[in-house]
Structure 1
Amino acid sequence: MTDQASSPSDELAQNAELQKAVIVGMQPDQPRRVLDEAARYAKLLGVPLVVAHVDVTRFVTYEDPDGYVHSAPIDLNIEAGAAEFEAVQAAAATALKGTDLKWTARQLVGDPALAIKQLANKLDAQLIVVGTRKRGLGESIREFFTGSVAARLAHRQHRSVLVVPLEDAVPDDQPEIWTE
């Protein structure tokens, strides 16, 4: 099951059906392991899975009293975020095909940690699952300025956060974690 663009009343009805869900943050081309772990926990808990993609090229302009979020693009090429969301939906549909797991996909906007936190509050989520970042100088610089989504989630809300490694573990005898 996947969401398309929804109206405020549709979103309220969907939120009621998704209470206590497991939320997984996904990006295009993210290793499948993150989604597999989230699906495993959703099955264990007997709750739906919400696949969340955050479009960082958009920001929240205002939110209606019923919780419906209105957004605007940072730049005028809004098709990039839509294409990323479609890629995430397709990857989730492929990975979850044949399972009896109830799932949906949600497109969020803005700061990833804050957007996922807000969705978790709306759904009273039981667990948030995110992947680690990739190793490398570029990612280290990005994290320096924006912070780790997992760390920010862990410190800014009360739910458990499962952080799934995206790459093989760094050997204990390797002094530097990020070698680039």
Structure 2
Amino acid sequence: MGIHSGEPRKHPVVVGVSPGQPPHVVLQAARFAIQFETELICAHVNPGRFATAESPDGSMLTAPLDPDFADEREVAFDARLETALSEILADSNVTWRTLAIAGDVATALGHLADTVDASMLVVGTAERSFAGSVTELFNRSIAINLARHQLRPVVVIPARAAEGTAAAHTAGA
């Protein structure tokens, strides 16, 4: 039920997370992590930054693409997103942690998966709406890029879960 603070487990499940993402995407990723008896890494990618150094656990030191608009709050994992993840994963019994990474979303998630030798990558789609359609196109290209360049499974979770799915995943996790 908490953020993992010890040594990272082998072959974690990596899930791309963002504010407003449907909770069942993270719950499904947690379910995979529990089934694989490993940890869940919730990674948020900031495309306005680039990596300057990285650690074997996937954490990064980053710098802004445009130093004139640098905001040091962009370096750390978003506290509101972390709080939302805590609420989503509270009853899941999964060991999890967050990582703030930088760069092109598909490239950064793929690189993280390689760095931590992930068992799989999980990404979600967006809701149907005009804004969602633009996001959907963006997310689809992320999933396609990951699938084309990864040597590990990429699982794409639809934004709309079947009725009761999120509750079932929470109970089953």
What is the TM-score of this pair, normalised by structure 1?
0.73
Aligned residues: 158
Rg: which structure is higher? 1
For residue 44 of structure 2, the aligned residue among 38, 53, 56 is 53
Q: What aligned pairs does 1:1-180 form with structure 2 within 5 A after superposition?
A: 1-2=2-3, 14=7, 17-60=8-51, 62-63=52-53, 69-75=60-66, 76-78=69-71, 81=74, 85-138=78-131, 148-167=141-160
Structure 2: which 5+ residue stretches go unaligned?
163-173
Alignment-mate amino acid for residue 112 of structure 1: V
With a CA cutoff of 8 Å and minimum separation of 6, indicate the structure with the bigger relative contact order: 2
Alignment-mate amino acid for residue 87 of structure 2: T
Structure 2 SS opposite 1:91: helix
Shift of 1:132: 1.2
What is the TM-score of this pair, normalised by structure 2?
0.75
Structure 1: which 5+ residue stretches go unaligned?
5-12, 170-180
- Among all aligned residue pairs of Structure 1 and Structure 2, give the percentage whose two residues are the same amino acid: 33
Shift of 1:77: 4.9
Task: Give the root-mean-square deviation of aligned CA atoms.
Answer: 3.1
